[in-house]
Amino acid sequence: MKRFALYQLPLIIYALIVFYVSSLSRLPDTGLQIPYLDKLAHAAEYFLFGFMAIRVTANLPRPLKTGWVYTLAILLSLVFGLSDEYHQWFVPGRTADPFDLMADALGIFLAAFVYYLLHRRRRTAP
């Protein structure tokens, strides 16, 4: 139960938050006029999702080989991102945008790279 609370539960809660925000017809206006801010937000949102997904797959009760940890987490995150875009297709005022999915993927792959660097550094530290 402790493992679930530490690893799976945070990802489930985050996925529910993402789903809720995707269900809103209008997002609050930040007032910022930054080009591609929405793509940056998607990349950041899925960076966090991807990072948490890797934490889940890296800490399963039956350990996976390193390659499978990353592969499974990346696939899980990409499928969730795809389902999120599909979901937005049905929300009034929202659209499914393939460029949003590309930004999601960028965030996911960046999270995998950062997690790998952190894990490698921790493993090689004296």
The answer to whether residue 14 is domain-embedded is yes
CA-based nearest residue to 74, from 38, 113, 23, 33: 113
pLDDT at 15: 98
**What is the C-alpha to C-alpha distance for residues 96 and 100, in angstroms, rounded to an integer?**
8
Which residue range forms the structural domain that includes residue 11?
2-23+36-124
Percent of the chain at pLDDT exceeding 90: 77
The arithmetic mean of pLDDT across residues 63-89, rounded, is 96
The answer to whether residue 28 is domain-embedded is no
Mean pLDDT of the chain, nearest integer: 92
Residue ranges with strand state E in 11-98: none
The answer to whether residue 31 is domain-embedded is no
The answer to whether residue 29 is domain-embedded is no
Other C-beta atoms closer than 10 Å to the C-beta of 42 total: 24
pLDDT at 36: 85
Structurally, how many domains does the chain consist of? 1
pLDDT at 125: 46
pTM of the model: 0.89
